[in-house]
Chain A
């Protein structure tokens, strides 16, 4: 994960900003997926999904779909 993204994630965690965490973890997941690292992608997708559920973000449905497609979610 690039340093900028890592720092942004830590700041969003400190702020308890679930919507921002959804966006940032989804970004991390996209990068891992592009690099062909499915395990890492699913780890980040999981976090994006959790914070989307918490914040009521509309991305939750798509994040769930992606996890399910990898067999990682019900």
Chain B
């Protein structure tokens, strides 16, 4: 099956009549390659976490779907993303996470760039000891910046530069969760984990979107948050997920609770929401913490899930709250670990020649179908 011969009309029908994406979308290298440009590079994809470059001069290289990128926090405090290459010979500039004192020096011929991307000097470019030449126009040879935007601690990039501004594309999500627009405080190493999963990235999204599986896969969660306490969230073309009306904050041994975000509406007293912001980040908000899970598609059938948990106040990052933070992270890790066998099982299942993409529950699967519809649209249905 090739991209041009894939009929996606069954995917874009209403959920009651639709089928899921064909097997090839999970098993074909050609599809995986096509997704890079059509799904990831032309939309706002999640690249990394702003907390990984907290101070001016912090630089972190990230390989994203084969693209060598680097996140750099400038002296002005602005986080920028660049193609991690010198404009001279295309050499990789930043090899590992580091602190840049003043300029990024290419390790090959020592062209130097400011943290803002400007080309500062080009040693010997006009001959030994002559660092200028009329044909070397520094103003045209700065680092290639990739459009980026930060939200809920996540750094998003639009690699092809053609997408509408993030605030425009995701206005609905920004509005929906506007009450969480406060400074976030990452919980530190004990609020950070990653899982290496043998599945296509889309299956992780699809599983996250729906609450249908909760009583079967997460019986512990279901003991207090039952299936009927959940509702669907669907913003066609943008995001989908689920909400709960019975969120119960964690209590410490001595009865303490994490502090809450200020000025939240009543909805959040016992409410929490979980959305997959297309394509590749799974977000969760609660009155006392948020999390983000970036899905890094490292291969057709392998996804690294990067999970980071954030709190409402700086004091929660201290030793006094360490036990609670660890308990909270352990709870989420258990949930995400419970999901692994199904997303890996569905990946193996996509090799069954008779599978037709699957029949959705018209009632329970619409957030997942919403995602399938979006992927199909991006891929040219």
What is the total of A-B residue contacts with beta carbons within 8 Å? 57
Q: What distance in Å separates the Cβ of A4 from its nearest Cβ neighbour in chain B?
A: 23
Output the nearest chain A residue to B103 by Cβ-Cβ distance. Answer: A53
- Chain A, interface size category, equals 20 to 34
Determine if A46 and B124 form an interchain contact, defined as CB atoms under 8 angstroms apart.
yes
Q: What distance in Å separates the Cβ of B141 from its nearest Cβ neighbour in chain A?
A: 12
- Known: A72-B130, A72-B132. Is A54-B101 also a contact (CB below 8 A)? yes
Q: A73 — which chain B residues lie within 8 A by C-beta? A: 121, 131-132
Q: A46 — which chain B residues lie within 8 A by C-beta? A: 121, 123-124, 129, 131
Q: How far is the CA of A39 from the CA of B127 in the complex (A)?
A: 10
Q: Residue among B103, B124, B129 with the most chain A CB within 10 A?
A: B129
Interface presence of B112 (CB below 8 A): yes
- Known: A49-B121, A73-B121. Is A54-B128 also a contact (CB below 8 A)? no
Output the nearest chain B residue to A45 by Cβ-Cβ distance. Answer: B129
Determine if A54 and B103 form an interchain contact, defined as CB atoms under 8 angstroms apart.
yes
Q: A67 — which chain B residues lie within 8 A by C-beta? A: 131
Determine if A53 and B130 form an interchain contact, defined as CB atoms under 8 angstroms apart.
no
Determine if A54 and B112 form an interchain contact, defined as CB atoms under 8 angstroms apart.
yes
Enumerate B146-203 residues with CB–CB distance to A below 8 Å.
none
Determine if A72 and B129 form an interchain contact, defined as CB atoms under 8 angstroms apart.
yes
Determine if A53 and B129 form an interchain contact, defined as CB atoms under 8 angstroms apart.
no
- Chain B, interface size category, equals 10 to 19
Q: How far is the CA of A70 from the CA of B103 in the complex (A)?
A: 23
Q: How far is the CA of A39 from the CA of B120 in the complex (A)?
A: 21
Interface presence of A40 (CB below 8 A): yes
Interface presence of B102 (CB below 8 A): yes
- Of B105, B124, B126, which one neighbours A53 at CB under 8 angstroms? B105
Q: What distance in Å separates the Cβ of B67 from its nearest Cβ neighbour in chain A?
A: 25
Enumerate A24-74 residues with CB–CB distance to B below 8 Å.
39-43, 45-47, 49-50, 52-57, 60, 67, 72-74
Interface presence of B377 (CB below 8 A): no
Q: A40 — which chain B residues lie within 8 A by C-beta? A: 129
Q: What distance in Å separates the Cβ of A32 from its nearest Cβ neighbour in chain B?
A: 10
Q: B130 — which chain A residues lie within 8 A by C-beta? A: 42, 72
Output the nearest chain A residue to B123 by Cβ-Cβ distance. Answer: A46
Q: How far is the CA of A46 from the CA of B120 in the complex (A)?
A: 12
Determine if B129 and A50 form an interchain contact, defined as CB atoms under 8 angstroms apart.
no
Q: How far is the CA of A30 from the CA of B62 in the complex (A)?
A: 41
Interface presence of B138 (CB below 8 A): yes
Interface residues of B (CB under 8 A from A): 101-103, 105, 110, 112, 120-121, 123-124, 126, 128-132, 138
Interface residues of A (CB under 8 A from B): 18, 39-43, 45-47, 49-50, 52-57, 60, 67, 72-74
Pull 29 A–B residue pairs with CB atoms less than 8 Å apart, ordered by A. A18-B101, A39-B128, A40-B129, A41-B129, A42-B129, A43-B124, A43-B128, A43-B129, A45-B129, A46-B129, A46-B131, A47-B123, A49-B123, A49-B131, A50-B105, A50-B123, A52-B102, A53-B102, A53-B121, A54-B101, A54-B112, A57-B102, A60-B102, A72-B130, A72-B131, A72-B132, A73-B121, A74-B121, A74-B131
